[in-house]
Structures are given as structure tokens and as C-alpha cells.
Amino acid sequence: MLKLSVSLLLVATSVCLTGVLSTPAVAPSVLTEDAPKGRVVGGDLASVGQFPYSVGLITHSTSIFTGRCAGSLVSANYVLTAASCVQSATSAFAYIGGLRIDDQSEPGRERLLIERFTLHSSFVDGGEDFDVALGQLPRSVAFNDRIRPIRLPNRRQVQATFVGQQGTVFGWGRFGSGISNSAELRFGRAEIISNLACRINLPTNTIVDAHMCTDGALTSPCAGDNGAPLTIMDADGITTQVGVFSFNSVLGCESGRAAVYTRLSAYLDWIGQNSDVIIRDNY
């Protein structure tokens, strides 16, 4: 699941942020973060209410394949995730407010069938750019100590790199390459690095302005964590999501290489246009 590292790379590239690709509607039915202790290998177990915006996604396609990834609750009606997580999904369930994704009897959590996914129209299967998607819930969820949306960057932060800040990422993915997924929510922390450092660290990948990276020397998200939010403690002391986990090095999540995220500040207009999330102008 988690083995995190930060690297940000600022390569100039033009990004079209207005594209939309919607999947058909699916028939209904079928902030304070604690730092992990010491070196994180596989991530630390999250506690109840630690990440009230956490969303586990179980996806189904036309085949018998069932996928698992992560997302974040960004409003009472929408989940934010990676397009690579849901591109082949014909249906998906969102598990909100829980720690054990496979525990149907866990108290206090919501299990909702996603009504519709909206993928960025420029995302292509197997691509590394425009890896962002929104899932519309069938009804509004009620907020409480275990369920609460995460804040997104404001427009003043469009040019912010967040380099040097500690990022937190969580998910239900694998503990490492070739290891099974985690049954419980785990989290880790890593430093956000520059896109230049990320490009040097990942020479076979194209890191663009709309990416951001974390250093993978200590901990990193892994397979099954796609769509997981990367959060920071913002200047005003409020936890803010700045990225969506997209991909690791071809060498795997235990290679010590950087992990790459979709930089949300590049997609604020797209998110605002395709959801009910209100994008703030300032803090």
C-alpha cells in the first residue's frame, strides 16, 4: 500500500483543463493528521476519524475483474479520484468513513454506488497526463466525525509548488510489490520534491507542470492506491489536498523512486465546472 516519496517536476507543457468525458449513469444498487512513527514500510494503520475524507473504491468492469483504488470526498455529492482508477469501470462502490474496506458490518460508514464518473476528456488509457476523475454520489452524505470533505487548493495557489512540505497519503493498496492489498486503511508521509528532481529520479517518465512528486526513499503509495489524495498542512493550519496519486516508477513502489501525482492546482477550473465544489479565491 504505502511506501512514499516526494518529487515535483516543473516541465513547461500546455494543459487543456476543460475537457470532459462522462461514463453512462450506472443503475442504482447491483483534520488533524497524526504523523507515522519512524520508518514507514507498508504504512501505519489509520485511526477512526483521522481521515474523514477517505474513500475506498471497489470497481467492476464487464469482465469478472474487480479493482480497488482510493479517492477523497470533496463535497457531500462528489468523490475525487484518478481517471486510471475508474477508466474501465462499469460500476463502482464508494466506501466512505470506514477503515476496513472489506468489512460490510463496520459501523459508521457509508456504502454507495457511484452514479456517474466524469473523466478528463484528454486522459488516454495507459497515459500519464490528465489523470483525474470525479464520481457523483447517488445522494448527499451527511457529515459527522467520521465523514467530512477535504479542502482543495485556492486560486492563489495555482503557482505554488509545495516543495519541501511534508505530504500525507493513504490507501488500501499493496504493502509492496507482489504483496496483497491491505484490508485496513494505512497512511504514510513523504516530502514533496521539485519537478526537476522528479524528472531526474524518473528518467523514463515525462513529468510535466500538471504533475507533482514525493520522495520515495522512505514510503510510497503502491498498486491499489491510485486516486489516493496527497494532503499537506496548509499555511492557515487546515489540511488541504494538493494531489491525486497517479503512478510509480516502472521499478515498483519499493524501489525508493519518486511517486507521481496529478497536481490539483492545475485542474481547479475543471473540478469546479464538473462538480458542486466551490473553488476558493483565497484562504
Q: Are residues 52 and 138 in the same domain?
A: yes
Mean pLDDT of the chain: 85
For residue 259, what pLDDT is reported?
Answer: 96
Do residues 36 and 189 make contact, with C-beta atoms less than 8 angstroms apart?
yes
- Structural domain count of the chain: 2
Is 28 domain-assigned?
no
Is 16 domain-assigned?
no
Residue 51 is placed in which grid cell? 481521515
Which CATH number goes with the domain that contains 106? 2.40.10.10
Beta strands in 97-236 (DSSP E): 110-113, 116-119, 133-136, 166-171, 186-193, 211-221, 229-233
Q: Are residues 74 and 171 in the same domain?
A: no
Q: Are residues 102 and 167 in the same domain?
A: no
Q: Are residues 259 and 162 in the same domain?
A: yes
Q: What is the pLDDT of residues 77-119, one digit of tens each?
A: 999 999 999 998 999 999 999 999 888 888 899 999 999 999 9
Is 211 domain-assigned?
yes
Is 67 domain-assigned?
yes
Of residues 43 and 54, the one with the higher pLDDT is 54
Residue 164: HSE in the Cβ half-sphere, 13 Å Cα cutoff: 1
Q: Are residues 116 and 154 in the same domain?
A: no
**Of 88, 102, 24, which Cα lies nearest the Cα of 56?**
102
In angstroms, the CA 219 to CA 5 distance is 6
Q: What is the pLDDT of residues 238-262, one digit of tens each?
A: 999 999 999 999 998 889 999 999 9
Q: Are residues 239 and 170 in the same domain?
A: yes
Q: Are residues 193 and 239 in the same domain?
A: yes
Q: Are residues 157 and 255 in the same domain?
A: yes
Is 26 domain-assigned?
no
Is 184 domain-assigned?
yes
Is 27 domain-assigned?
no
For residue 61, what pLDDT is reported?
Answer: 86
Average pLDDT estimate for 159-163: 98
Is 109 domain-assigned?
yes
Give the structural domain span for 117: 48-149+270-274
For residue 101, what pLDDT is reported?
Answer: 86
